[in-house]
Amino acid sequence: MSAHYEGQRVLVAGAGVAGAASAEVLLGLGAVVTVLDRAESETLVRLKAAGAQVVLGDEPPADLLGTLDAVVLSPGFAPHTPVARSAARAGLPVYSEPELAWRLRGPGSPSWLAVTGTNGKTTTTTMLAAILRAAGRRTAALGNIGEPLVHAALSAEYDVLAVELSSFQLHWSSTLAPRAGALLNLADDHLEWHGDFEHYATAKLAVWRAAGTADGVAVGNLDDPAVARRLAAQPGRRVGVTLGVPGPGQLGVVDGALVDRAFDADGTPLAAGDAHAAAGVELGSVSDVRPPGTHNVSNALHAAALARAYGVAPYAIRAGLAGYEPQPHRNAFVATVAGVSYVDDSKATNPHAALASLTAYPRLVWVAGGQLKGVDVGDLVATVANRLAGAVLLGVDRGQIADALRRHAPHVPVVEVARTDDGAMTEVVRAAAGLARPGDTVLLAPAAASKDMFHGYDHRGEAFAAAVRALPAQG
């Protein structure tokens, strides 16, 4: 199945979870593996013991490059990083862990159903896994979440995988072609990595690579103009998703119900003129979708479209969505204190995601800030200005958000918290409580990444929730 890696000389750049898993699997297949990382670690010690060579630094020595057959990059390595540039100059194949996993597939390997987009990837992928489990399929939500794909690719444990793919992972892919792939939305994000929006969007389109094949399906959000335009230009079978009434070949909402007009009751694709397409197949109720919010209804419809493309019956869509347990830090209610609601949407790590949360509440105090990743927040602030009762800002790029608030919402009181120690979030939450009045919502929707101050968005959300719980009951 994977004999072509025996004796191959492969450089694995990055010894994080994906890199370490790639190195271990390649060693098991008989490859000669060198691992590149910036500093010694327990992981490198373990990989050395398993037979890997280790090189410390930002790029491999020139004499090593000349001996290699391939380079496997951890997804965080951008095209402009030294190791990526060196590999490109040497003419080496360069790919990431999901692409390696795809190349390791063999007879009996699980099918892949994939999800990408600027926002909603994890929610949609875990919704899809819940649906597949309700249909009796052996599955897991993997990729940018969960266990490394390289392990699943060699396992007989699964029938089908629900795979979340980031723009980084898709950029470093060339043959990966999931049977059905969904593009949820496109908005400015990771521009410092990709260089500009077009390169970012182009990377995302790789999720539709199989659409021109016999069984391949491209699923896309018709309510997002950037996605809809690209879906219309995509060769092969296309399925559109909308929050409006669906037309033939689409999934959407009719009188509060999730309706499929792209597949018949058995999951067979419908021709445009088929009478069944006009009637549609009901897949569940909007009221059953959790977490609440129109963006999550859209996520549920995309998950349903992927499952239907795989032949999952309507009853399993309903059961999977009804039993779905939302992931943490996604529009999660924390507590009500002195008549003010506190909500943790720490996963809103860019303006597009923050907008979905901010527009769900009529009057709020916004907690925002962190690493903006080269993205402007002016349009976001202008859109939600009339909802804001105040804003409390933290993190390295808080000044950019403060500037946008001065331009677009000069009436909104703003508190900037400069400290970055463990007490920062306590100060933030107390300041937000001081700006809020009964009936308001204090919403953590940072519109920015978290690693300037926290281990990740989850750590940030936990700090917010802990600070809320520490508030006095009154005042």
Tens digit of pLDDT for each residue in 349-361? 989 889 888 988 9
| Mean pLDDT calculated for residue range 269-284 | 74
275: confidence class by pLDDT, cuts 50, 70, 90: low
pLDDT recorded at residue 194: 61
pLDDT recorded at residue 178: 97
pLDDT recorded at residue 190: 65
Q: How far apart are CA 299 and CA 128, in angstroms?
A: 9
How many Cβ atoms sit within 10 Å of the Cβ of residue 250?
22
**Torsions phi, psi of 54, nearest 5?**
-125, 135
pLDDT recorded at residue 2: 45
Burial status of residue 108 (CB atoms within 10 A of its CB: 0-12, 13-18, 19 or more): exposed
DSSP 53-92: EEEESSS--HHHHTT-SEEEE-TT--TTSHHHHHHHHTT-
pLDDT recorded at residue 244: 97
| Mean pLDDT calculated for residue range 441-457 | 95
Q: How far apart are CA 82 and CA 72, in angstroms?
A: 14
278: confidence class by pLDDT, cuts 50, 70, 90: low
Strands 257-260 and 281-285: antiparallel
- Tokens, residue 208: 């539709």
Q: How far apart are CA 442 and CA 461, in angstroms?
A: 13
How many Cβ atoms sit within 10 Å of the Cβ of residue 258?
26
Q: Nearest 5 degrees, angle CA 164-CA 165-CA 167? A: 150
| Single-letter residue type at 208 | W
Average pLDDT, the chain: 92
214: confidence class by pLDDT, cuts 50, 70, 90: confident
| Single-letter residue type at 332 | A
CA count, 13 A, side-chain hemisphere, 164: 22
Statement: residue 3 has pLDDT above 50:
no
pLDDT recorded at residue 227: 97
Q: How far apart are CA 12 and CA 21, in angstroms?
A: 10
Q: Quick one: what percent of the chain has pLDDT higher than 70?
A: 96
- Tokens, residue 463: 């700090």
Which position has the higher pLDDT, 445 or 106?
Answer: 445
Statement: residue 457 has pLDDT above 80:
yes
Q: Nearest 5 degrees, angle CA 125-CA 126-CA 128? A: 65
Find the range with the poorest average confidence among 15-29, 106-120, 225-239, 264-278.
264-278
End-to-end Cα separation, the chain, in angstroms? 66
Provide CB contacts within 8 A for 155, sequence distance 6+. 110
Secondary element (H or E) of residue 351 = helix 351-358
Statement: residue 193 has pLDDT above 90:
no
Find the range with the poorest average confidence among 229-243, 275-289, 420-434.
275-289
Cα dihedral 228/288/110/15 (nearest 10):
80
Helix, coil or strand: residue 381: helix
93: confidence class by pLDDT, cuts 50, 70, 90: very high
How many Cβ atoms sit within 10 Å of the Cβ of residue 427?
17
Please identify which residue in the block is written with the tokens 């090593």. Answer: 64
> pTM for the whole thing?
0.80
Preceding peptide of 328 cis, ω within 30°: no
- Tokens, residue 118: 């600027």
Statement: residue 188 has pLDDT above 80:
no
pLDDT recorded at residue 169: 94
**Torsions phi, psi of 333, nearest 5?**
-65, 135
Backbone Cα Rg of the chain: 23
Q: Which residues are bridge partners to 281 per DSSP?
A: 260
Q: How far apart are CA 55 and CA 40, in angstroms?
A: 9
- Tokens, residue 369: 């800030």
Q: How far apart are CA 383 and CA 75, in angstroms?
A: 33
Q: Which structural domains are found in the chain, ordered by start? A: 8-95 (3.40.50.720), 100-322 (3.40.1190.10), 332-469 (3.90.190.20)
DSSP 214-268: SS-EEEEETTSHHHHHHHHT--S-EEEE-SS---TTEEEEETTEEEESSB-TTSP
pLDDT recorded at residue 276: 59
| Single-letter residue type at 95 | Y
Tens digit of pLDDT for each residue in 389-446? 999 999 999 999 999 999 999 999 999 999 999 899 999 999 999 999 999 999 999 9
